């Protein structure tokens, strides 16, 4: 049986660029939502709209039977789930936890195992679509874990995304997100080099974009981030620092499988240069600055 507004008291941990919109969609869907984030001010807007503030992970865990998380880095995920004040040590048996952070596949599998010992069902469900996808509830959600648990949580996923795909056992969602990030990494280099070429050739980038975004070169990054680049808008829909984290996870996972990923390694090298020049808090489209 699916989780309903009557059977689910929802917790949401991580009220950032994407998390705020995702939690709001759950609230709009009629779910009672408790929220926690390390910087309380980030949750103030949601609290003013009816979300219930909790001052710790453990407090939230004790009051909710379904908890979604989208935090920054794998050590944050590990602390939220496996620490003494974390979800698995403070949530009642029979609950559900869903990590939507982009994190390590092996950590997702470990959380799944530890959750089972505590009588809790765990899914790894990273997302793609950036701030716009989160705001418009059309995220792509890639899910690993048990299929019957996925089916129960699906109505809540449907409030946050449109392309929701069950990928397989625990960790499969995170592995799928690595595939996504690998494709984006090479694609962003292409987008930036294309626009740099257009400018050098004396073309109007806006007009060029009209021709190429609907052809064989079309991509989400070209349609959504190229217009921001043209406007010199480097505000984060997705932070450079988080993309570097994702690429590092993907490279480490590829190395463990003896897979060469030279394009990905080049992209990380370039993004590390962006970060070193002060762009770690910028959006991923800030890669273009290396070409100007």
Query: Does 258 fall in a domain?
Result: yes
| pLDDT over 90 at 231, yes or no | yes
pLDDT recorded at residue 172: 98
Shared-domain flag, residues 154 and 18: yes
Total tally of structural domains belonging to the chain:
2
Shared-domain flag, residues 98 and 124: yes
The model's pLDDT over 176-215, given as tens digits with 9 standing for 90+, comes to 999 999 999 999 999 999 999 999 999 999 999 999 999 9
Over pLDDT 70: what percentage of the chain? 100
Shared-domain flag, residues 142 and 217: no
The model's pLDDT over 139-177, given as tens digits with 9 standing for 90+, comes to 999 999 999 999 999 999 999 999 999 999 999 999 999
Q: What is the CA radius of gyration of the chain?
A: 20
Shared-domain flag, residues 281 and 254: yes
Give me the half-sphere count of Cα atoms (radius 13 Å) on the Cβ side of residue 152.
19
Q: What are phi and psi of 148, to 5 degrees?
A: -70, -30
Residue 17's pLDDT band, with cuts at 50, 70 and 90, is confident
The model's pLDDT over 254-274, given as tens digits with 9 standing for 90+, comes to 999 999 999 999 999 999 999
Domain around 193: 177-291
3-state secondary structure of 270: helix
User: Interhelix angle for 172-200 vs 262-274, to 10°?
Assistant: 70
Q: Which residues are known catalytic residues? A: 177
Query: Does 2 fall in a domain?
Result: no
Which pTM does this prediction carry? 0.93
Give the 3-state secondary structure of 137-159.
CCEEEEEECCHHHHHHHHHHHHH
């Amino acid at each position: 049986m699916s989780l309903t507004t009557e059977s689910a008291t929802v917790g949401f941990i991580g009220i950032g660029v994407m998390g705020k919109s995702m939690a709001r969609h759950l609230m709009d869907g009629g779910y009672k939502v408790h929220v926690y984030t390390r910087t309380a001010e980030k949750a103030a807007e949601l609290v003013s709209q009816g979300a219930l503030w909790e001052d710790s992970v453990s407090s939230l865990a004790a009051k909710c039977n379904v908890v979604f998380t989208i935090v920054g880095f794998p050590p944050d995920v590990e602390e939220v789930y496996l620490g003494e004040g974390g979800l698995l040590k403070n949530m009642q048996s029979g609950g559900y936890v869903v990590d939507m952070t982009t994190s390590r596949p092996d950590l997702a599998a470990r959380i799944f195992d530890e959750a089972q010992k505590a009588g809790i069902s765990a899914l790894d469900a990273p997302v793609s679509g950036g701030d716009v996808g989160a705001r418009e509830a059309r995220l792509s959600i890639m899910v690993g874990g048990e299929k019957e648990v996925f089916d129960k949580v699906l109505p809540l996923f449907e409030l946050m995304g449109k392309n929701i795909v069950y990928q397989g056992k625990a960790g499969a969602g995170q592995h799928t997100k690595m595939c996504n990030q690998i494709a984006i990494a090479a694609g962003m280099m292409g987008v930036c080099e294309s626009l740099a070429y257009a400018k050098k050739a004396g073309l109007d980038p806006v007009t060029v974009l009209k021709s190429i975004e609907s052809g064989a070169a079309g991509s989400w990054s070209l349609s959504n981030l190229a217009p921001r680049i043209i406007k010199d808008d480097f505000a984060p829909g997705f932070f450079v620092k988080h993309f570097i984290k994702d690429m590092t996870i993907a490279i480490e996972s590829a190395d463990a499988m003896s897979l060469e990923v030279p394009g990905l390694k080049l992209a990380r090298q370039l993004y590390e240069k962006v970060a070193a020049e002060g762009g770690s808090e910028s959006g991923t489209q800030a890669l273009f600055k290396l070409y100007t």
